[in-house]
């Protein structure tokens, strides 16, 4: 077996999920190309004296289920899947989608119902009550999105996913300390002039425990504090549809105007429920190996020199009390190649054009994290 797969398995089992003897671990995966990793994970879990369980789904079959799903059916699916999830101590989710747009032509009504009445309920149980990590798997579909050969993408993938996350975690302490004492945030750039508060909301480091690849620090805006406009320069996939040129205008925290290449459809997403027009997360991307978008949110939200803001549900550990069935990370890259931009904390410039400019945060610039 490829030693890079074995190294990744050890990272997921020992570092991300910290699996202990006799714990029960659910490996849940989409797509057959991820099977070599699943096999390696099973062996690694057994080596820990723990118990592996495996579940598999297929996007084309999911499409058929969602297209005809009924409310009573979704309730029964929740009942059955929650029995298994409540028995688990850890969860490893692997996504090897053959076509990220497979669900793109399903109606908003069906997708919103599936998210609200099934997916978000089971996900809440997983997030709140298991040690979990979610990752993508390199396949031809991802390589095509990135515009590379499969071999080149695999090399990039393993560099990103097996970096020294413990080193990154230590470096993050400096920005955690700063953000925890910050009140006002100001973000400026092309099409963006946005102010909000993060006062008294905890800042959390994400350094390989819950996502692979990882590399971000996140908090949440005070729910009603956002004022101004925000333009995203990175495509974003949601429920199988790719949105570009996303623009929001905020008033008292609410998205009162939204446009994109698919303006009507993005407004349907934002009308999923009351909380979907408010933000549940503000995060800063720090992964030194991820420098440009590949149309995959688990990678794109970690781009060095980026930020992301998230319509929908907040995280419990960084709560602004916004609740929603959606949680959609949208990315703004502020490197010079993408038009640049600035971040101010309490009136002080802390990052310009994607690079930290104050001494205590220089440890987070890419040359110091590789």
CA distance 153 to 350: 33
Task: Scan for tokens 């032509």, then name that residue.
Answer: 105
Predicted pLDDT at 165 = 87
Predicted pLDDT at 227 = 98
Token representation of residue 246: 């996303």
Predicted pLDDT at 64 = 95
What does each C-alpha distance from 284 to 110, 200, 222, 238 come to in angstroms? 33, 18, 16, 21
User: CB neighbours (10 Å) of residue 168?
Assistant: 22
Q: Is the peptide bond before 364 cis (omega within 30 degrees of 0)?
A: no
Same-domain status, 147 and 235: no
* CATH code for the domain of 95: 3.40.1830.10
Same-domain status, 11 and 79: yes
Predicted pLDDT at 212 = 87
Ranges in the chain, pLDDT < 50: none
Same-domain status, 297 and 180: yes
Same-domain status, 91 and 36: yes
Predicted pLDDT at 162 = 84
Write out the H or E segment, with its range, that includes residue 76.
Answer: helix 71-87
CA distance 83 to 356: 46
Same-domain status, 91 and 233: no
The contacts of residue 263 (CB under 8 Å, 6+ apart) are none
Report the Cα 304 to chain-centroid distance in Å.
15
CA distance 352 to 188: 10
Same-domain status, 254 and 127: no
Same-domain status, 173 and 302: yes
Predicted pLDDT at 54 = 98
Residue 1, Cβ density class (10 Å: 0-12 exposed, 13-18 middle, ≥19 buried)? exposed
Q: How much is the pTM? A: 0.78
CA distance 302 to 216: 6
Same-domain status, 79 and 190: no
Same-domain status, 42 and 64: yes
**What percent of the chain shows pLDDT beyond 90?**
83
CA distance 245 to 311: 16
Could you give the number of structural domains in the chain?
A: 2
Sign of the Cα torsion 112, 107, 62, 133 reads negative
CA distance 321 to 323: 6
Domain around 352: 165-368
Same-domain status, 47 and 75: yes
Predicted pLDDT at 6 = 95
Residue 254's beta-bridge partner residues? 251
Q: Between 35-47 and 3-10, two packed helices, what is the crossing angle to 10 degrees?
A: 50
Same-domain status, 198 and 331: yes
Of the candidates 161, 184, 204, which is a domain's last residue?
Answer: 161
Task: Put the strands of the sheet holding 216-219 in their side by side order.
Answer: 204-206, 216-219, 279-285, 306-311, 330-333
Of the candidates 146, 161, 176, which is a domain's last residue?
Answer: 161
Output the CA torsion 11→6→26→17 (10° steps): -10
Task: Scan for tokens 């946005």, then name that residue.
Answer: 194
Same-domain status, 134 and 171: no
Of the candidates 161, 183, 211, which is a domain's last residue?
Answer: 161
- How does pLDDT run across 286-337, given as a tens digit for each residue? 999 999 898 888 899 999 999 999 999 999 999 999 999 899 999 999 999 9
Token representation of residue 254: 């609410």
Q: For residue 171, what is the DSSP state?
A: H
């Amino acid at each position: 077996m490829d030693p890079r797969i074995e190294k990744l398995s050890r990272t997921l089992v020992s570092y991300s999920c910290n699996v202990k003897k006799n714990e029960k671990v659910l490996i849940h995966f989409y797509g057959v190309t991820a099977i070599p990793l699943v096999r390696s994970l099973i062996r690694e879990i057994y080596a820990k004296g723990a118990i592996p369980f495996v579940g598999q789904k297929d996007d084309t079959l999911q499409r058929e289920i969602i297209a005809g799903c009924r409310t009573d059916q979704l309730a029964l699916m929740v009942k059955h899947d929650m029995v298994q999830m409540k028995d688990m101590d850890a969860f490893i989710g692997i996504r090897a989608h053959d076509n990220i747009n497979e669900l793109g032509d399903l109606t908003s009504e069906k997708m919103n119902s599936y998210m609200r009445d099934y997916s978000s309920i089971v996900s809440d149980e997983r997030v709140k009550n298991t040690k979990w990590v979610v990752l993508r798997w390199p396949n031809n579909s991802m390589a095509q999105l990135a515009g590379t050969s499969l071999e080149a993408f695999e090399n990039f993938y393993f560099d990103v996913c097996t970096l020294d996350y413990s080193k990154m975690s230590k470096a993050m302490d400096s920005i955690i300390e700063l953000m925890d004492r910050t009140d006002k945030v100001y973000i400026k750039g092309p099409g963006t002039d946005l102010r909000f508060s993060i006062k008294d909301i905890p800042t959390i480091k994400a350094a390989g425990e819950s996502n692979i690849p990882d590399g971000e620090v996140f908090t949440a805006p005070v729910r009603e504090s956002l004022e101004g406009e925000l333009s995203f320069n990175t495509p974003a996939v949601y429920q199988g549809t790719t949105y570009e040129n996303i623009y929001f205008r905020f008033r008292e925290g609410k998205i009162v105007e939204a446009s994109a290449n698919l303006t009507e459809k993005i407004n349907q997403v934002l009308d999923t429920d009351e909380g979907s027009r408010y933000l549940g997360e503000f995060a800063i991307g720090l992964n030194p190996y991820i420098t440009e978008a590949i149309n995959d949110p688990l990678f794109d939200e970690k781009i060095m020199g980026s930020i992301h803001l998230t319509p929908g549900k907040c995280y419990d550990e960084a709560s602004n009390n916004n609740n929603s069935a959606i949680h959609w990370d949208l990315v703004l890259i502020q490197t010079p190649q993408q038009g640049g931009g600035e971040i101010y904390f309490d009136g002080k410039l802390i990052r310009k054009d994607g690079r930290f400019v104050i001494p205590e945060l220089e440890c987070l610039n890419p040359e110091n994290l590789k």
